[in-house]
Amino acid sequence: MRYICLIYDNEAEYTTMSEAEQQAEMAAYYSFTDAVVKAGIDRGSDALMPTTMATTVRVRDGKTVTTDGPFAETKEQLGGFYIVECANLDEAIEWAAKIPGAAHGSVEVRPVMEFN
């Protein structure tokens, strides 16, 4: 079954990190990505641009309404994701716990709905 691991972290904290700390964080993500690829469970991953680049779209009374930026003030923002193919939720949780952002943010693990 495929699982999506949604990585939530505090964007503001990243900007306060030194260049060396940012490089170490990215190196940890590259290492994790290599691990899921080598394990054969990688089904896609990406980082997202900051929430300041986001646009929220809603349709109300047949009209499209857009809002710039994040919709609500939250401590953690969705910053990226991995999609992994695992035998069960326990295995997906084991992999999610290895995502570097889990150490200071959170990772939401959700099964991907299959329509076949």
> For the chain, what percent of residues have pLDDT higher than 90?
78
Among candidates 77, 81, 70, 71, which has minimal Cα distance to 14? 77
pLDDT for the residue 44: 97
Q: Using 50, 70 and 90 to split pLDDT, how confident is the model at 6?
A: very high
Among candidates 78, 92, 88, which has minimal Cα distance to 36? 92
pLDDT for the residue 75: 80
75 burial (CB, 10 Å; 0-12 / 13-18 / 19+) is: exposed
pLDDT for the residue 33: 98
What pTM did the predictor assign? 0.89
Q: How far apart are CA 21 and CA 17, in angstroms?
A: 6
Query: What is the rounded average pLDDT of the residues 80-105?
Result: 96
- Residue 104, strand partner residues: none
Q: How far apart are CA 66 and CA 49, in angstroms?
A: 18
Determine contact, residues 98/32, Cβ cutoff 8 Å. yes
Question: How confident is the model over 35-50, as pLDDT tens digits?
Answer: 999 999 999 999 999 8
CATH of 2-111, one of 3.30.300.30, 3.30.360.10, 3.30.70.1060, 3.40.50.300: 3.30.70.1060
Domain boundaries, the chain: 2-111
